[in-house]
Amino acid sequence: MRYLLLALLVLYVVWRWRSAPAAGSKATRAATPAAPEVIDMVVCAHCGVHLPVTQALAVQARYFCSRAHQDAAGA
């Protein structure tokens, strides 16, 4: 009878040990936001490269990727 209780205890510990990481990873995935941040993209009026609007130079309703391309376009 003592060995049966010991075997049940070992099985319980193994079961808890194996199920604990899975429950932890589920909680981590649930806490992660699903929707990525959306950033508007614009096209450089000189070379046509796409870049985030936050990094573009806006001049007279046109966007440029760099000061050199702004100067090259004469804006």
Q: Which residues bind Zn ion (CB under 5 A)?
A: 44, 46-47, 65, 69
Dig out the tokens for 29 from the structure.
Answer: 């995935």
Q: Please calculate the CA angle 34-43-48 and round it to the nearest 5 degrees.
A: 130
Can you read off the two tokens belonging to residue 74?
């004469």
Minimum CB separation of residue 55 from Zn ion in Å reads 11
Nearer to Zn ion, 42 or 44 (CB): 44
Which C-beta is closer to Zn ion: that of 8 or that of 75?
A: 75
Q: Sign (positive/negative) of CA torsion 63, 65, 70, 72?
A: negative
Task: Name the minimum Å distance from CB 19 to Zn ion.
Answer: 55
| Closest CB 46 distance from Zn ion, rounded Å | 5
For Zn ion, give the closer residue by CB, 62 or 69.
Answer: 69
Backbone phi, then psi, for 59, in 5-degree steps?
-135, 120
